[in-house]
């Protein structure tokens, strides 16, 4: 297979006009040109691309995107060009920084009983959107399931993202991570924090596995790493990716203490500590005392009901009777109360940033 080449064909009316553009402006190499007396075909290569410019070809001129670490130093800093043959050239930064959109705060309730559609996503997994408006693109929360267990058709990949949480809701899944040793089994109640661009691969899942995945921002790129083999030989549990460390938090090691809201206890997944407060993840259960009205000042506060039932009271709103599979977002400053929790209530709370203030109303 190593001797096989592929090339893109582009049309031209006059090849001599294209030669200086492709070789000098786009810094591509001229590999061949013919016939010698009146050239009609030229082949250029560069930037991982092979282009055949052919006089009289019937294809449209198309668009070439060139990705570079120094866009200001390429093609005199132009971001868009048009070749003499009509081909559009877009010049972009190869690894642009992750941009976090400004959060459009809103009160959101998503109920499983409303039967939002499941869609087929990457590697054949089924996705249900838990925040339909995605708060202006600032966050995506997905309920993911794999009905039929077994090997997962995944590849070594990574995400260009600011924050990502994988929380196992039902069943189990085996995942292998860069520099984190052999495959790890995530079981119900466990969670991973996947630092930005850590390489990983989903290996095997149980029947009917379900996970909650949180990503910031909502729109982010997933790239395949064709060169890395997992597991890697080196174990580096304290390695940081863009200031964040990998976390594998297991429910069997949980310590429960009073939650920020009266009437509940919680376990801290240590994610705030290991992301340097980018985000915090808590799991809350029924505790002692009576729930009260409260408000918060964090940018994003998302909650998923994992077990039991609870009533979400909001100022100026009718009460919402919530059950397992439901989710909600409470904007900063809004007064709410989680009342009448069942004894088996269990809530997954994700906040960005991780540390924030809660103001309680007097009982």
Gyration radius from the chain CA atoms = 26
260 part of a folded domain: yes
In tens, the pLDDT along 116-171 reads 778 887 667 789 999 999 999 999 999 999 888 899 889 999 999 999 999 999 99
Which string of DSSP letters, residue by residue, matches 129-166?
ES-TTGGGGT-EEEEEEESS-EE----SEEEE-SEEEE
How many domains are contained in the chain? 3
- 214 shares its domain with 265: no
In tens, the pLDDT along 231-255 reads 999 999 999 999 999 999 999 999 9
Which pTM was predicted?
0.87
Beta carbons of 237 and 246 less than 8 angstroms apart:
yes
- 325 shares its domain with 279: yes
Q: What is the CATH number of the domain that holds 23?
A: 3.10.180.10
Nearby residues of 119 by Cβ (< 8 Å), 6 or more positions away:
126, 127, 128
Three-class SS of residue 122? helix
271: tokens are 């994610």
Domain that holds residue 38: 8-93
Cβ atoms within 10 Å of 282's Cβ, excluding its own: 20
Q: What is the CATH number of the domain that holds 217?
A: 2.60.120.10
Per-residue pLDDT of the chain (363 residues; tens, 9 = 90+): 468 889 999 999 999 999 999 999 999 999 999 998 889 999 999 999 999 999 999 999 999 999 999 999 999 999 999 999 999 999 999 888 888 899 999 999 999 988 777 888 766 778 999 999 999 999 999 999 988 889 988 999 999 999 999 999 999 999 999 999 999 999 999 999 999 999 999 999 999 999 999 999 999 989 999 999 999 999 999 999 999 999 999 999 999 999 999 999 999 999 999 999 999 999 999 999 999 999 999 999 999 999 999 999 999 899 999 999 999 999 999 999 999 999 999 999 999 999 999 999 886
């Amino acid at each position: 297979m190593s001797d096989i080449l592929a090339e893109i064909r582009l049309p031209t009316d006059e090849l001599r006009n294209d030669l200086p553009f492709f070789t000098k402006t786009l810094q591509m190499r001229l590999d061949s040109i013919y016939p010698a007396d009146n050239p009609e075909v030229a082949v250029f290569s560069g930037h991982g691309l092979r282009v055949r410019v052919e006089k009289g070809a019937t294809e449209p001129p198309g668009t070439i995107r060139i990705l570079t670490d120094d866009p200001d130093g390429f093609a005199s800093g132009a971001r868009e060009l048009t070749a003499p043959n009509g081909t559009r050239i877009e010049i972009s930064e190869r690894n642009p920084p992750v941009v976090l959109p400004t959060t459009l705060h809103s009160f959101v309730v998503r109920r499983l009983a409303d039967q939002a559609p499941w869609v087929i996503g990457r590697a054949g997994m089924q996705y249900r959107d838990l925040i339909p408006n995605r708060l202006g693109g600032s966050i995506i929360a997905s309920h993911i399931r794999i009905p039929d267990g077994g090997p997962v058709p995944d590849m070594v990949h990574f995400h260009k993202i600011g924050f990502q949480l994988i929380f196992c809701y039902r069943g189990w899944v085996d995942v292998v991570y860069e520099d984190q040793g052999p495959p790890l089994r995530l079981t119900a109640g466990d969670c991973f924090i996947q630092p930005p661009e850590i390489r990983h691969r989903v290996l095997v899942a149980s029947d009917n596995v379900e996970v909650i995945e949180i990503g910031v921002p909502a729109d982010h790129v997933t790239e395949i790493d064709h060169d890395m083999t997992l597991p890697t030989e080196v174990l580096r549990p304290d390695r940081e990716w863009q200031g964040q460390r990998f976390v594998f938090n297991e429910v069997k090691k949980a310590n429960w203490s009073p939650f920020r809201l009266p009437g509940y206890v919680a376990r801290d997944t240590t994610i705030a500590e290991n992301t340097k407060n980018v985000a915090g993840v808590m799991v809350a259960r029924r505790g002692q005392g009576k729930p009260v009205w409260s408000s918060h000042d964090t940018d994003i506060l998302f909650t998923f009901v994992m077990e039991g039932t609870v009533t979400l009271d909001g100022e100026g709103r009718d009460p919402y009777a919530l059950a397992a599979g439901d989710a909600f977002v409470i904007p900063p400053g809004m007064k709410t109360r989680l009342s009448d929790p069942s004894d088996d209530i269990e809530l997954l709370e994700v906040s960005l940033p991780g540390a924030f203030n809660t103001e309680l109303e007097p009982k």
